[in-house]
Structure 1
């Protein structure tokens, strides 16, 4: 159990029953607006430096304000920083923080908190999965790899309300990164007071529109409006309750019973029924993300046999998965970077234009040449995925394809979310793992940076190629937009040729949204902070 959940104490059964009874259909006891949101899995942690999943980020968008914040319509607007200046060489950013900004305990938010927080993210002692997110900042990589102390990070408090950041080189996507949880500030005084317990319910202070009120494992997380937030007077929703529900059928039942205003996901088994019976409440839209499988390149035979990896990749019938299994508007994927990426041309391998029969024939040829398949050595593969019906159905489909076409024996291993994250990130899975990446900012770098050899745990398959890293480093230092795009496209072609991952489909966002919810706007990043929503 994480420290976040160990923190939950002093909550009586009566209090839990009171919260459970706050159904959508029931009239509020007082004139308060309570938004009930489904939220997928239990949070790994709400520590901005240590979380890595989308379920955590939905809650964190309500708890914290980044320097920029999403407006719920696909744009990013001033958040903790009311304005900023950029130097002529595009390397120094000076953020002018809101002078009226306060933590939820009423103490001022200062530039010193931002300096402390960014140093904490890159400090190797923190072991933040997203430490690389701040690598554009001068000195960040040296700190992450222990070559320099955290104080070497080029951030400083010019005064209490001015936060200055110096970059290694001009980084065109830098501002668009600053809504992400890895860049949030936490209260230095609060961390110094409570140590690792600062994240506990009752201890945590936040600078967002809401603050943490309750957290009951396997039940809910309750946020209440932060009275010290600069936009408190114009924030319509008073209370937000997030319900972690990994079983999507159960989540949909709660929605249809009026217990949820918004679902986190939708079960594939109900898509046709929902289209026919609740079309006005079904919200589907393109989503900036890629669903894929990753082979474990720290282990044999995957580490050494590119053709074997390619055989598995070719044998996956994306059209069947998208059209018959998922049925949720996804697009079959043969590349890693999704469509609609700014200043980028998708890199489509030749075999994407083959028929599936042609891909299957090539897969059989490759696996036979590797000495496996019918008449060859036996090959057993385990697919790891996190507990969820949709992931299970995809895993079953892929396993069936590999078994029938290639003669391999496939077993499935499902794990609860937090255990799965640890197994996957530590590369403890046997063969292949389910993975997905949702873009944190609209730039190809956000996807391709994952596959660098020095990126650490976030690298899905532990792929490492010096030429790839060189292309990425050069792309990160050029200010020529066309040259940068060409370098990134070369990098993607290389990682696709080396079969670093098996892309399956590009995501679509899909939710049920109650007619009572006002202000929900579908957007490519699928970001919907509660602050910008209302209830009829």
Structure 2
């Protein structure tokens, strides 16, 4: 264990170069542009097709380009979007959204309710393969339409007139929060018909939000400019926003210190006291509804049909040391899937969460031997992650723990984001991979739904009839306490299937330049540029 601690401390010091007084002063000064916002955005967005987006990098951009029926303010509160108001029936199953007058696309064409309905039908069409469609399984016939069992016309969304959209659901559900997701944004279908997958390119992408797409240089940056036809254009204070690809968190910090960026997507794993001394109040660390875990491919050897081996790998990871020495920004060790703090929900935990690490490691070694592995017959395993400094350091630390505790031989594989996402989804070559979930809405169901079917987000290939039954009981529950109790039972079942290795619960962490105004912490860590301003 001493070797692991030393290795972790070494990992945390990588890239933490001494800071000169000049560097420190440079990071403080408001010498960045006052007309164009420069934002770090993590990996290259996998798509700008709103219906196909499944990660934070594209979601950040799409929330600037589009607006749904419902929007969010700077603090993450729900506010009117395209709909100026909405009502719900007494049984909670019919939602009626009344649109603002004079809505227009960024090309100047009128935007009305029938177009919004047509966009929803495209989102749920089988050929679209929208990864977030399962989040809307409460919408009448949504699952059947996506499966190709019903035509899109049968989707429970219609437009009785040009300024009204009605959505029918099969159970009471917090629909307005779901309508802030990119899958619920209106896509301009004439461009899709004309250009296919290339409708997302500059000069072709037609949107309806505060900004429109101006330029996109792959693997470098993407620029949006103010959309004069947005209904609240007069309130948008920044004319242009450039989203930079910043997969390397250490390099992103250096760019911020050089005043190339106003906002970073994250912070590299460095000692927080030193960063605070350097940047002071520019560091923004806040609670964040997100869980980081490693997924295990349970449909292929060596992890298929081997729960003892999977549990051994989970037990051997010292989460306290990971969060203390590798992440180091207030993250908390995770022994469950659903983060704490969701209203009315008591998250489940692995039954050995209260054990000390020595006891866990002893149990891990026993299970490893029972699974048929030993010092003379070690397991060889591939651990895959997308290119990122924090992910590299974390996977190095986990690999060291598996090696020192069990004798596992680990091969690390890092991949560019789009390749990584494709491989993870296909489950053909993955063994253990970087996973996790950032909450789309503050609802425990959002963290558990992916494992209730064989959809695009069930990356491990988890398939358990009992889990699906518990999840179905939660959906059928008639009260919030009953629903949460069934969801907790489902989470417990999922945890003890050991298809996932929970590691920690997130905090959001950014550097924000002093001249940026309007950046507010919120649990989902969403910061649309329409709410920001630059001080001259």
TM-score by length of 2: 0.92
What CA distance in whole angstroms lies between the structure 2 residues aligned with 1:389 and 1:235? 34
Partner-residue secondary structure (3-state), 1:307: helix
* Cα distance in 2 between the residues matched to 1:218 and 1:176: 32
Paired position in structure 2 for 1:477 = 476
Q: By how many angstroms is 1:293 displaced? A: 0.2
Structure 1 residue 26: Cα displacement: 5.7
CA distance in 2, matches of 1:72, 1:527: 8
CA offsets, 1:212-268, max 9 Å, x none? 011112221111110001111111111111111211122111111111100011111
Could you list the runs of 5+ residues in structure 2 that have no partner in the other structure? 1-28
The residue that corresponds to 2:297 in the other structure is: 296
Rounded Cα–Cα distance in structure 2 between residues aligned with 1:479 and 1:448? 19
In structure 1, stretches of 5+ residues that fail to align are 1-22
Structure 1, 300-309 or 204-213: larger mean CA deviation:
300-309
C-alpha contact 2:30 2:513 (8 A) present in aligned 1:
no
User: Once the two structures are superposed, what CA deviation does each residue of 1:12-65 show, in whole Å capped at 9, x if it has no partner?
Assistant: xxxxxxxxxxx973666xxxx211101111110100111111011111110010
The answer for the alignment partner of 1:333 in structure 2 is: 334
Aligned to 1:12: none
* Alpha-carbon displacement from aligned partner over 1:257-290 (angstroms, at most 9, x marks no partner): 1111000111113644212221211111111100
CA distance in 1, matches of 2:176, 2:197: 29
Q: Which position in structure 2 is the counterpart of 1:495?
A: 494
Instruction: Give the alignment of 1:29-48 within 5 angstroms.
Output: 33-48=35-50
Query: Structure 1, residues 418-463: CA drift from partner, whole Å, max 9, x if none?
Result: 0000000111333100112100000000001011133x12013110
SS in 1 for 2:280: coil
User: How many residue pairs end up in the alignment?
Assistant: 507
2: CA distance, partners of 1:435 / 1:371: 27
Q: Does 1:158 align with 2:160?
A: yes
Q: 1:25 aligns with which of 31, 35, 47?
A: 31
For 2:352 and 2:477, the matched residues in 1 are separated by: 32
Q: Aligned residue for 2:530?
A: 531
Report if aligned partners of 1:133, 1:182 keep a CA contact under 8 Å in 2.
no
Tell me what 1:7 maps to: none
**Comparing 472-481 and 419-428, the one that deviates more:** 472-481
SS at structure 1 position matched to 2:126:
coil
Query: Is the 1:283–1:511 contact (alpha carbons within 8 Å) kept by the matching residues of 2?
Result: yes
> Does the 8 Å CA contact 1:109/1:187 hold for their aligned counterparts?
no
Residue number in structure 2 paired with 1:6:
none
Structural mapping, 1:150-229, within 5 Å: 150-171=152-173, 173-229=174-230
Q: CA deviation at 1:146?
A: 1.5
What secondary structure does 1:446 align onto?
helix
Distance 1:26-1:318 versus aligned 2 partners, 3 A rule: closer
Instruction: Kindly indicate whether the alpha-carbon contact (under 8 Å) linking 1:285 and 1:509 is maintained by their aligned counterparts in 2.
Output: yes
Q: Is the 8 A contact 2:124 2:145 kept in 1?
A: yes
**Quick one: distance in 1 between partners of 2:197 and 2:30?**
35
Alpha-carbon displacement from aligned partner over 1:333-365 (angstroms, at most 9, x marks no partner)? 000000111221011223111101111011011
2:284 alignment partner, SS class:
strand
Question: Aligned in 2, Cα 1:27/1:360: closer, same or farther, shift over 3 Å?
Answer: closer
Does the aligned pair in 1 maintain the 2:135–2:446 contact within 8 Å?
A: no
SS class of match (1:268): coil
Does residue 230 (structure 1) correspond to residue 196 (structure 2)? The answer is no
| 1:288-317 superposed Cα distances (whole Å, 9 cap, x missing partner) | 100000000111231211111111001100
Establish whether residue 242 from structure 1 lines up as the match of residue 248 from structure 2: no
Q: Is 1:389 paired with 2:427?
A: no
For residues 52 and 142 of structure 2, what CA distance do their matches in structure 1 show? 17
Q: Does 1:277 align with 2:283?
A: no
Give the 3 Å change call, closer, same or farther, for CA 190–112 of structure 1 in structure 2.
farther
For residues 373 and 340 of structure 1, the distance between their equivalents in structure 2, rounded to whole angstroms, comes to 41
**Using the alignment, how far apart are the partners of 2:189 and 2:409 within structure 1?**
53
- Provide the residue aligned with 2:74 in structure 1: 72
Please report how far the alpha carbon of residue 158 of structure 1 lies from its aligned counterpart in structure 2 after TM superposition: 1.0
- What is the CA–CA distance in structure 1 between the aligned matches of 2:233 and 2:408, rounded to whole Å? 58
Report Cα offsets for 1:139-191 as digits up to 9, x if no partner: 111111121122221111111111111112222x2221110101111123333
2:32–2:262 CA contact under 8 A, matched in 1: no
Which residue is 2:60 aligned to? 58
Is the alpha carbon distance of 1:270 and 1:498 closer, same or farther for their aligned partners in structure 2, counting shifts above 3 Å?
same
Correspondence 1:372 to 2:373 = yes
